[in-house]
């Protein structure tokens, strides 16, 4: 793959875009990430400068690359050769994104080759819509063997609004996606979870509202009561454990992190991903994340010894944790030691395959 990664640090939007794209020639695909400030201007200016390129962006609290992690910058990659791609948008994702499924079919047809192909998507946050987006995309892509990979857009942690864009247009309540075919190798996805089961006890959801992402009962008992019991604390203390003790949703032999959101009526707990009746969950606690990251690096090195490029989606909660520990830039550099040049962003959720989850890192590595 031929590509260039650039960063813009100027406070002037036009100068910032010029900095970030100075080495771009005629990219087939541009991906960019920035804070919400100036995002709309970046979207318009990028498309004006490269009208023939697919140009897809998302807001983020932090931008990752092999030299570190940065905030308050515009980070962009222009992929010149080595891929084929086609992109579009799913609109009204909080209501009926399935209405736009023909756009997914068109993009698949344009790319043609479904081998070594992935669907990259960025979705606006705070709409409880990621699962609907996955259902719409997978209604086409599952049969084609094309996995969905991506993340929910981010902000500075204020949960006041996020943005995504495609080809000069900021898309409200939408998911932008690109079908990307790697012409010269495979694409492998790695998922990193830095939590472990706290007790190992399985909690079965016996009353839930999936659409509202709320569980009212585990094992026929109030959800907040059962959560407190697992933690060994009083019910009045459980919210103090929300960040450090997410839930792990058990699907087959895999565990997907589901972040706690708030206590709601009747001792229910609202989450940042959907949980359905009869789901099996376990309370999680932090593991030794430095050891886990070392294992991730080793696994990537073994499975993709010669990476060409990589795209990372990193949860905002992990970003805040690492930043608070003074580890964020070191982490970005460690990942660069195995991925080489890569680009990443931090948002409110991660999606892979048919699953939406939180507090996780996922990375798509192109051979």
pLDDT tens track for 142-158: 999 999 999 999 999 88
**Domain containing residue 10:** 2-192+291-366
| Nearest residue to 360 via CA among 187, 117, 195, 206 | 195
Q: Are residues 142 and 279 in the same domain?
A: no
Per the prediction, the chain carries an average pLDDT of: 97
Q: Are residues 336 and 359 in the same domain?
A: yes
Q: Are residues 206 and 272 in the same domain?
A: yes
Q: Are residues 60 and 173 in the same domain?
A: yes
* Half-sphere exposure at residue 267, Cβ-oriented, CA atoms within 13 angstroms: 17
Total of domains in the chain: 2
Q: Are residues 187 and 235 in the same domain?
A: no
d(CA 76, CA 350): 20
Tell me if the pTM is above 0.85: yes
Q: Are residues 245 and 257 in the same domain?
A: yes
Residue 159 has pLDDT above 90, yes or no: no
Q: Are residues 246 and 217 in the same domain?
A: yes
Among 234, 253, 286, identify where a domain stops: 286
Contacts of residue 360, defined as CB under 8 A and 6 or more positions apart, other chains included, come to 191, 192, 193, 256, 257, 315, 318, 350
Q: Are residues 227 and 138 in the same domain?
A: no
Residue 160 has pLDDT above 90, yes or no: no
Q: Are residues 155 and 278 in the same domain?
A: no
Residue 353 has pLDDT above 90, yes or no: yes
pLDDT tens track for 100-111: 999 999 999 999
Residue 162 has pLDDT above 90, yes or no: yes
Q: Are residues 13 and 109 in the same domain?
A: yes
d(CA 148, CA 138): 7
Contacts of residue 355, defined as CB under 8 A and 6 or more positions apart, other chains included, come to 134, 251, 256
Region 337-343: mean pLDDT is: 97
CB 206 within 8 A of CB 264: no
- In order, the DSSP letters of 72-107 are SSEEEEEEEESEEEEEEEE--TTT-GGGGHHHHHHH
pLDDT bucket at 294, cuts 50 / 70 / 90: very high
Q: Are residues 129 and 32 in the same domain?
A: yes
Among 235, 261, 286, identify where a domain stops: 286
pLDDT bucket at 266, cuts 50 / 70 / 90: confident
pLDDT bucket at 245, cuts 50 / 70 / 90: very high
């Amino acid at each position: 793959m031929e590509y260039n990664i650039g960063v813009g640090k100027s406070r002037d939007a036009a100068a910032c875009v010029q900095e970030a794209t100075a080495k771009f020639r005629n990219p087939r695909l541009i991906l960019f990430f920035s804070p919400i400030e100036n995002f709309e201007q970046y979207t318009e200016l990028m498309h004006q400068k490269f009208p023939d390129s697919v140009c897809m962006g998302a807001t983020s609290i932090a931008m990752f690359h092999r030299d570190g992690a940065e905030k308050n910058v515009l980070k962009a990659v222009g992929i010149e050769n080595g891929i084929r791609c086609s992109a579009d948008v799913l609109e009204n994702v909080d209501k009926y994104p399935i209405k736009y499924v023909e756009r997914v079919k068109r993009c698949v047809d344009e790319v043609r080759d479904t081998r070594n192909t992935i669907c990259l998507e960025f979705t606006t946050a705070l709409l409880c819509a990621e699962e609907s987006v996955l259902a719409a995309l997978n209604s086409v892509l599952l049969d084609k063997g094309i996995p969905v990979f991506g993340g929910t857009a981010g902000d500075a942690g204020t949960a006041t609004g996020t943005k995504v864009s495609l080809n000069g247009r900021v898309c409200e309540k939408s998911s932008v996606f690109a079908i990307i075919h790697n012409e010269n190798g495979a694409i492998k996805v790695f998922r990193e979870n830095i939590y472990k089961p706290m007790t190992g006890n399985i909690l079965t959801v016996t009353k839930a509202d999936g659409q509202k992402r709320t569980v009212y009962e585990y094992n026929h008992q109030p959800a907040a009561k059962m959560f407190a019991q697992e933690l060994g604390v009083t019910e009045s203390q459980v919210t103090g454990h929300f960040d450090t003790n997410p839930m792990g949703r058990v699907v087959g032999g895999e565990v997907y992190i589901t972040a706690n959101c708030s206590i709601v009526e009747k001792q229910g707990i609202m989450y940042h991903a959907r949980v359905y009746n009869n789901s099996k969950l376990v309370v999680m606690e932090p593991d030794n994340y430095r050891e886990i990251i070392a294992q991730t690096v080793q696994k990537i090195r073994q499975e993709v010894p010669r990476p060409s490029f990589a795209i990372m989606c990193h949860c905002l909660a992990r970003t805040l944790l690492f930043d608070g520990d003074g580890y964020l830039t070191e982490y970005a550099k460690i990942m660069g030691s195995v991925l080489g040049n890569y680009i990443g962003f931090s948002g409110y959720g991660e999606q892979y395959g048919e699953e939406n989850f939180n507090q996780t890192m996922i990375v798509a590595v192109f051979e």
